[in-house]
Structure 1
Amino acid sequence: MYLYEYESREILTKYGIPVEEACIASNLEEAKECLERIPPPYVIKAQIRRGGRGKLGGIKIAHKKINALNEVSRMLGSTIGGFTVRKVLISEKLNILRETYLSYTIDKGQRSYVLLASPHGGIDVEEMHRKRPESLLKVYIDPLLGLKEYMVRKVVKHLGLDDSLASIVRALYNVFIEYNCELVEVNPLAITDRGVFAVDRRIIIDDSYAKLAPTPSISMLWERYVNELSEEERMAINNGFSYVELEGDIGVLGNGAGLTMATLDLVKLMGGKPGAFLDIGGGASSKRVKIAMSLLLKNKDLRCILVNVIGGITRCDEVAKGIVGAIRESGVRGKKIVVRLLGLNEEEGKMILAKAGINVFEDLSSSVKEVVSTNGACE
């Protein structure tokens, strides 16, 4: 669950992490009230559930109230990075002397938490770390032992700051643990003429944990998150599917994250535009495939669907039954469906699909070519 920045800001405030003065607005009247309380110049930030908005025009600076209102008016209702902007965060513009970076995330390969810290933060932090990888400090934290004081001191020294930062490093770790986060990020953690502030914040909470609604605050965040999802996204969550909507018109259904990602890459490489992808995982029954396929068929933005399944613990005949069942029940017409089946019971699966008049391929490249036209759209 990717939180809005204003939600992340509220959480950090509860843990005593310094933040700039700001307020949230969903219309011009609320924006006017915010501007009365906050001193100029102003920073107007579009609230969307993704990063990188600064490079997409989602963060603007205004020196006068009229300019700030114009930016708010422009942002509200606009689409940035595939998301509709329904709220903006209006904040004071701090006098930033230096930007640093601090985050906690999970390294699944190491089976460990990892603390990332750099004396270089801001909008181009990723490019900076590519050019100067030595500037990014990685501190691995055993989940059973937790954050130790020597780790905190190491981070403070690396960032070139005094011990006043130590409390922020500890507090951010507490947020990471107590909210069961996949990511807690402050970028930049800004050094200003008034002290250190967490100026831009990003928090991602594990969906499985959030669904349990263990506390009233997380329950509220989860309810708000789910209510903003499309019908297809809610359906995916309720059935435990990994489902992501994109901006193209080709739907991709695969089994396994690696296979699904590789299929998306090939679609893009051949000029197609993925509009959504869904991973059914391993060992999916015909019933589960039917639900997954129905979900993609309901997506009105998809003009064609590419199914790429390699059978192992997943049986190809079960996949075929699910596909045919979904098409018959949905009554959806006009979507081109191309299937590539390979593996356990593939011949049985191909026979089921052939009887239903569905295109079946053995080769992935040929199946992708079938769904991608010369102008990059489905035929």
Structure 2
Amino acid sequence: MRLLEYEAKAVLSKYGIPTPTGKVVESPEQARDAAEEIGCPVALKAQVPVAGRGKAGGVLFAETPEEAEGAAGKLLSAELGGLRVRRILVEEKIQIKRELYIGVAVDRLARTYVAIASTEGGVDIEEVALRKPELVHKLQVDPILGFQPHHARILAKRLGYRGQQMLCLAGVISRHYRVAE
């Protein structure tokens, strides 16, 4: 299944996974209004189904609604990966303290799901797996028993979390897995 970022965030929100406040827009004027409504600073993200949007100039930041309007104009006149940008996600700019990657993949050979977590990666998780495989933690999940709470705690511990933070992250990991089911 291929989802745009705003569609994926709507699904995550339904499962109780926190996401930044945002709004999808289709014009510079709508971007300005969204920035005023959300509050600046904001991130403006081109909504096209291609990888590496940030590196390709598809993510811009604005400190004011006027800057958001200008940035939206640039994005809406751009092409990324051969696709014209028609929608932008305007969302609150988040100060990132620590970035984590959490994912679920299908291991067709083993006929099982694999929960994946890393303290690095994000959009470049494949590159991290090749360059620093020790930073990518994988956990095979028995398809009969399913993903259990202890699986989430194991991954959270492997990422270096302990105590209450580990339990909180384990909850987020469990909810991510439920999304993939």
TM-score (normalizing by structure 1): 0.45
Task: Tell me the equivalent position of 1:172.
Answer: 176
Q: Distance in 2 between matches of 1:103 and 1:124?
A: 13
Task: Tell me the equivalent position of 1:74.
Answer: 74
Task: Tell me the equivalent position of 1:120.
Answer: 120
Q: Distance in 2 between matches of 1:108 and 1:77?
A: 41
Q: Distance in 1 between matches of 2:92 and 2:160?
A: 26
Matches of residues 2-21 of structure 1 in structure 2 within 5 Å? 2-21=2-21
Q: CA deviation at 1:124?
A: 4.4
Task: Tell me the equivalent position of 1:357.
Answer: none
Q: CA deviation at 1:77?
A: 4.1
Task: Tell me the equivalent position of 2:22.
Answer: 22
3-state SS in 1 of match to 2:11: helix
Q: Distance in 1 between matches of 2:102 and 2:27?
A: 32
Matches of residues 241-320 of structure 1 in structure 2 within 5 Å? none
3-state SS in 1 of match to 2:99: strand
Task: Tell me the equivalent position of 2:62.
Answer: 62
Task: Tell me the equivalent position of 2:90.
Answer: 90
Q: Distance in 2 between matches of 1:62 and 1:29?
A: 14
Matches of residues 124-273 of structure 1 in structure 2 within 5 Å? 124-161=124-161, 162=165, 163-177=167-181
2:32–2:66 contact (8 Å) kept in structure 1: no
Q: Distance in 1 between matches of 2:171 and 2:123?
A: 25
Identical-pair percentage? 37
- One-letter amino acid of the counterpart of residue 34, structure 1: A
Q: CA deviation at 1:122?
A: 3.9
2:32–2:68 contact (8 Å) kept in structure 1: no
Q: Distance in 2 between matches of 1:91 and 1:21?
A: 6
Q: Distance in 1 between matches of 2:48 and 2:158?
A: 32
- One-letter amino acid of the counterpart of residue 82, structure 1: G
Cα distance per residue 1:191-212 (max 9 Å; x no partner): xxxxxxxxxxxxxxxxxxxxxx
2:4–2:47 contact (8 Å) kept in structure 1: yes
User: Over the residues paired in the alignment, what is the CA RMSD in angstroms?
Assistant: 1.5
Q: CA deviation at 1:128?
A: 3.1
Q: Distance in 2 between matches of 1:175 and 1:122?
A: 18
Task: Tell me the equivalent position of 1:100.
Answer: 100
Q: Distance in 1 between matches of 2:169 and 2:97?
A: 15
Cα distance per residue 1:165-217 (max 9 Å; x no partner): 1221111111111xxxxxxxxxxxxxxxxxxxxxxxxxxxxxxxxxxxxxxxx
2:100–2:120 contact (8 Å) kept in structure 1: yes
Change (3 A) 1:24 1:49: same
TM-score (normalizing by structure 2): 0.91
3-state SS in 2 of match to 1:105: strand
- One-letter amino acid of the counterpart of residue 12, structure 2: L
Task: Tell me the equivalent position of 1:331.
Answer: none
Gaps in structure 1 of 5+ consecutive residues: 178-379
Q: Distance in 1 between matches of 2:2 and 2:77?
A: 20
- One-letter amino acid of the counterpart of residue 103, structure 1: G
1:119–1:158 contact (8 Å) kept in structure 2: no
Cα distance per residue 1:106-131 (max 9 Å; x no partner): 11111111111011234544433322
Q: Distance in 2 between matches of 1:169 and 1:124?
A: 19
Number of equivalent positions: 177
